[in-house]
Amino acid sequence: MLFSEQNYRRGEFCGSIEVVCGSMFSGKTEELIRRLKRAQIAKLNVEIFKPRTDIRYDESAVVSHNANAVQSTPVDHSSAILLLGANTQVVGIDEAQFFDDDLPEVCNKLANKGIRVIVAGLDMDFSGKPFGPMPALMAIAEHVTKVNAVCVRCGSPAMYSYRTITNDAKILLGEKESYEPRCRCCFYSKD
Ligand SMILES: Nc1ncnc2c1ncn2[C@@H]1O[C@H](COP(=O)(O)OP(=O)(O)O)[C@@H](O)[C@H]1O
Ligand SMILES: Cc1cn([C@H]2C[C@H](O)[C@@H](COP(=O)(O)O)O2)c(=O)[nH]c1=O
Ligand SMILES: [Zn+2]
């Protein structure tokens, strides 16, 4: 794919921002891991970050719902991502929706230093509203990939994460016990 490899300009790496977004179970983490593993195969220096908020599967690894995993560094604030090693060429960030509003500027700084930044996160929360810094990241990205899950109600492509338990908190970590991916019709029909 066009955005799988690093851009070059005048023989040097050009930085860029890629966003992978969608509902829960849509394959965001799988796609992030796929791109990062390709970069590792290409012998690029890769660093991976996730918010400390999300330690559902593992304290430090980024883990997909089907148990594919890569090691990562949990951070409390997006500014910590700027402290990465001087030789870093590719940065991966998972669960970007949980980061603070400085994350887009942090990603811009990294990309302007020549780093390829790949960010994965939920574009919408359980109520169908844009989630955290994701809309700003999508605006400044060179490439945005929206992936779909399969609606558990009807089998259509799903872009919403329906919360199946009663709780209005924006942040509520969980899996299939509290969320199911749904298409537009099944999300808004609410039955
Ligand atoms: N309803 C569903 N639609 C699509 N994939 C599903 C569904 N339920 C479970 N999965 C599993 O989830 C995997 C995607 O996991 P993951 O990459 O962690 O997604 P995300 O990061 O978007 O939540 C799929 O490959 C599949 O094995
Ligand atoms: C919709 C929604 C989700 N969350 C939580 C639930 C999970 O812990 C993560 C999303 O993980 P995934 O890798 O995309 O499956 O986010 C939340 O806190 N609030 C929400 O509205
Ligand atoms: Zn549906």
Q: Please name the residue that has the structure tokens 């090693």.
A: 85
Q: What's this model's pTM, rounded to 2 decimal places?
A: 0.94
Does the annotation flag 179 for ligand binding? Answer: yes
List the domain range (segments joined by +) for residue 124: 2-148
Is 179 contained in some domain?
no
Instruction: In whole angstroms, give the CA distance from residue 178 to residue 25.
Output: 13
| 176 inside domain | no
* 156 domain residue, yes or no: no
For 116-173, how does the pLDDT look when each residue is reduced to its tens digit (9 = 90+)? 999 999 999 999 999 999 999 999 999 999 999 999 999 999 999 999 999 999 999 9
Whether residue 191 lies inside any domain: the answer is no
Q: Does 160 fall in a domain?
A: no
Q: Is 190 inside a domain boundary?
A: no
Instruction: Compute, in angstroms, the gap from residue 27 CA to the centroid of ligand 2.
Output: 13
Rounded-to-integer distance, Cα 129 and Cα 25, Å? 18
Which DSSP helix (H) or strand (E) runs through 1?
A: none
Are the C-beta atoms of 106 and 6 separated by less than 8 Å?
Answer: no
- Residue owning the nearest CA to atom 14 of ligand 1: 27
Report the separation in Å between the CA atom of 80 and the middle of ligand 3, taken as the mean of its atom positions.
Answer: 40
Tokens of 93: 């960030």
Q: What CATH number does the domain containing 25 carry?
A: 3.40.50.300
User: Which backbone phi and psi does 161 adopt, to 5 degrees?
Assistant: -110, 100
Provide the domain count of the chain: 1
With respect to residue 164, please indicate whether it lies within any of the assigned structural domains.
no
Q: What digits encode the pLDDT tens for the residues 85-123?
A: 889 999 999 999 999 999 999 999 999 999 999 999 999
Answer yes or no: 95 catalytic. yes
**What is the band of 57 on the pLDDT scale with cuts at 50, 70, 90?**
low
21 labeled binding residue: no
Tell me whether residue 39 is in a domain.
yes
ipTM greater than 0.90: yes
Longest dimension (CA), the chain: 56
